[in-house]
């Protein structure tokens, strides 16, 4: 054990009346709270963004393949991908699945009320994981049979129109200057909390929309492509685009919902501001603490200098003290943050108004890499800031400091 570390340990644990003891406690608590807030802010932001993105992608996928002129089903102008073209798209590394879809605007009418909706048709290749996860009652569609008349409605629509499992659903469409109706049997009710989508989408077999548009069974409005990794969206979408024919184009989920993704980006800025404030508080607190410890130990510094200790050696003693405070704060901060995160993930204690945030509770997504980065950055920045007050030790005159006592 080197003598600088030994003296630092003796100073930090020395009992008796001194000013630095409560200051050290306050500094430790400050770093504890600062680190806890930083970890929780990042975890909540990450959880919030993941939940919202998952819901949007569940309705609209990551990438949509559409007709080049962007005329959708309202123009009765569909597209078709051959099996060979689908297989070529599936060979792209980040592509998980591809399935056809078609949509049709309509109105649900009951005896007491009505609701404008978008009827979305899917087929047997559709990834049903999303709707299984958010199923409130009943089941998903049976897509293995032809001309299926089953439908999936949201809880928002079901509550407004007083619908339940097993009810007949009549949807009216305006086609070629005439009103046409389709009857569906409600087999499931979903609830995602994403009100903009829940209020609009009714899910059915794609054959129903193909029939309304007088399409063949291979003609569809477009294709939805799910990716394995959202972070590679831009790169993968470019690969998909260059794999398509001249009569097709693509839209990414960020292009479909630009306002929502701009809002999510704005949340990043808010969290960065919180992180900066918490870091500044920690820096000011630990710097002030070290200055108080140096001031209180002026006589000790004078004695050490008179015994031949160099300023560099004495600075190391006080940096050891500061590092001890920082590491304790980091330890307690990590335990506090992870404890709160675990309790929230398990019991959902902190709730949110769903109509405003699209979620019923505060989401938490812990990332080991992000936690490590918060701890490393805190240590580096705090220690770097401590070099300024530590340099004041070199200016202390040993004779005057001994008299100072």
**Per-residue pLDDT tens digits for 341-395:** 999 988 989 988 877 777 888 999 999 999 999 999 999 988 888 887 777 776 6
Return the pLDDT at 57.
Answer: 96
* Local confidence band at 256 (pLDDT 50, 70, 90 cut-offs): very high
Question: Could you report the per-residue pLDDT of 159-179, keeping only the tens digit for each?
Answer: 999 999 999 999 999 888 888
321 versus 120: the higher-pLDDT residue is 120
Percentage of the chain exceeding pLDDT 70? 91
Please report how the helices 311-347 and 3-13 are oriented relative to each other, as an axis angle in degrees rounded to 10: 60
Return the pLDDT at 360.
Answer: 82
Bridge partners, 222 (sequence order)? 101
Return the pLDDT at 72.
Answer: 44
**Could you tell me the CA-to-CA distances from 98 to 86, 124, 214 in Å, in that order?**
7, 11, 23
Written in H, E and C, the secondary structure of the chain is CCHHHHHHHHHHHCCCCCCHHHHHHHHHHHHHHHHHHHHHHHHHHHHHHHHHHHHHHHHHCCEEEEECCCCCHHHCCCECCCHHHHHHHHCCCCEEEEEEEEEEEEEEECCCCEEEEEEEEECCCCCCHHHHHCEEEECCCCCCCCCCCEEEEEHHHHHHHCCCCCCEEEEEEEECCEEEEEEEEEEEEECCCCHHHHCCEEEEEHHHHHHHCCCCCCCECEEEEEECCHHHHHHHHHHHHHHCCCCEEEEEHHHHCHHHHHHHHHHHHHHHHHHHHHHHHHHHHHHHHHHHHHHHCHHHHHHHHHCCCCHHHHHHHHHHHHHHHHHHHHHHHHHHHHHHHHHHHHHCCCECCHHHHCCCECCCCCCHHHHHHHHHHHHHHHHHHHHHHHHHHHHCCHHHHHHHC
Question: Could you report the per-residue pLDDT of 91-136, keeping only the tens digit for each?
Answer: 999 999 999 999 999 999 988 899 999 999 999 999 999 999 999 9
Return the pLDDT at 74.
Answer: 47
Non-local (6+) Cβ contacts of 81 within 8 A are: 65, 89, 98, 100, 223
* Local confidence band at 11 (pLDDT 50, 70, 90 cut-offs): low
* Local confidence band at 399 (pLDDT 50, 70, 90 cut-offs): low
Q: How far apart are CA 67 and CA 64, in angstroms?
A: 10
Contact 89, 253 (CB under 8 A): no
Reference 79, options 255, 213, 236, 174; nearest CA is 213
328 versus 319: the higher-pLDDT residue is 328
Question: Could you report the per-residue pLDDT of 283-306, keeping only the tens digit for each?
Answer: 888 888 888 777 777 777 777 777
Instruction: Provide the mean pLDDT of the chain.
Output: 87
* Dihedral pair phi/psi, residue 137, rounded to 5°: -145, 155
The residue whose two tokens read 């200055």 is: 291
Q: pTM surpassing 0.85?
A: no
Q: Is pLDDT of 17 > 70?
A: no
Distance of CA 291 to the CA centre of its chain: 40
* Dihedral pair phi/psi, residue 108, rounded to 5°: -90, 130
Sign of the alpha-carbon dihedral angle for 187, 151, 123, 92? negative
Question: Could you report the per-residue pLDDT of 181-216, keeping only the tens digit for each?
Answer: 999 999 999 999 888 899 999 999 999 999 998 898
Q: Is pLDDT of 330 > 70?
A: yes
**Could you tell me the CA-to-CA distances from 247 to 67, 178, 244, 270 in Å, in that order?**
6, 30, 8, 42
Q: What is the mean pLDDT of residues 65-92?
A: 79
Question: Could you report the per-residue pLDDT of 45-59, keeping only the tens digit for each?
Answer: 999 999 999 999 999
Return the pLDDT at 71.
Answer: 44
């Amino acid at each position: 054990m080197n003598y600088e570390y030994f003296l630092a340990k003796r100073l930090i644990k020395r009992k008796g009346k001194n000013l630095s003891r409560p200051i050290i406690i306050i500094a430790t608590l400050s770093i504890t709270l600062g680190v806890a807030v930083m970890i929780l802010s990042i975890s909540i932001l990450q959880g919030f963004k993941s939940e919202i993105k998952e819901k949007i992608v569940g309705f609209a996928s990551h990438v949509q393949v559409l007709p080049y002129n962007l005329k959708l089903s309202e123009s009765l102008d569909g597209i078709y991908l051959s099996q060979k073209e689908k297989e070529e798209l599936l060979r792209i590394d980040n592509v998980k699945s591809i399935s056809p879809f078609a949509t049709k605007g309509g109105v649900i009418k009951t005896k007491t009320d009505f609701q404008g909706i978008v009827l979305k048709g899917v087929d047997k290749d559709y990834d049903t994981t999303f709707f299984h996860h958010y199923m409130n009652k009943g089941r998903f569609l049976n897509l293995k049979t032809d001309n299926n008349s089953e439908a999936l409605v949201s809880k928002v629509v079901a509550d407004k129109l007083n619908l339940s499992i097993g009810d007949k659903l009549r949807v009216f469409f305006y086609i070629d200057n005439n009103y046409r109706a389709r009857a569906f049997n409600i087999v499931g009710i979903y609830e995602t909390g994403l009100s903009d989508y829940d209020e609009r989408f009714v899910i059915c077999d794609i054959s129903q929309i193909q029939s309304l548009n007088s399409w063949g069974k291979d003609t569809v409005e477009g294709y939805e492509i799910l990716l394995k990794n959202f972070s590679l969206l831009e790169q993968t979408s470019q690969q998909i685009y260059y794999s398509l024919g001249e009569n097709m184009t693509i839209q990414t989920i960020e292009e479909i919902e630009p306002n929502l993704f701009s809002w999510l980006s704005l949340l990043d800025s808010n969290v960065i501001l919180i992180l900066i404030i918490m870091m500044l508080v920690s820096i000011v607190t630990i710097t002030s603490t070290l200055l108080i410890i140096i001031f209180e130990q002026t006589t000790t510094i004078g004695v050490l200098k008179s015994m031949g200790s160099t300023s560099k050696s004495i600075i190391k003693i006080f940096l050891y003290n500061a590092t001890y405070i920082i590491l304790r704060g980091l330890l307690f901060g990590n335990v506090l943050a992870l404890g709160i995160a675990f309790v929230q993930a398990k019991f959902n204690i902190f709730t949110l108004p769903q109509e405003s945030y699209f979620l019923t509770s505060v989401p938490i997504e812990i990332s080991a890499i992000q936690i490590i980065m918060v701890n490393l950055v805190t240590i580096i920045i705090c220690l770097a800031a401590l070099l300024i007050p530590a340099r004041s030790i070199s200016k202390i005159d040993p004779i005057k400091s001994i008299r100072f006592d």
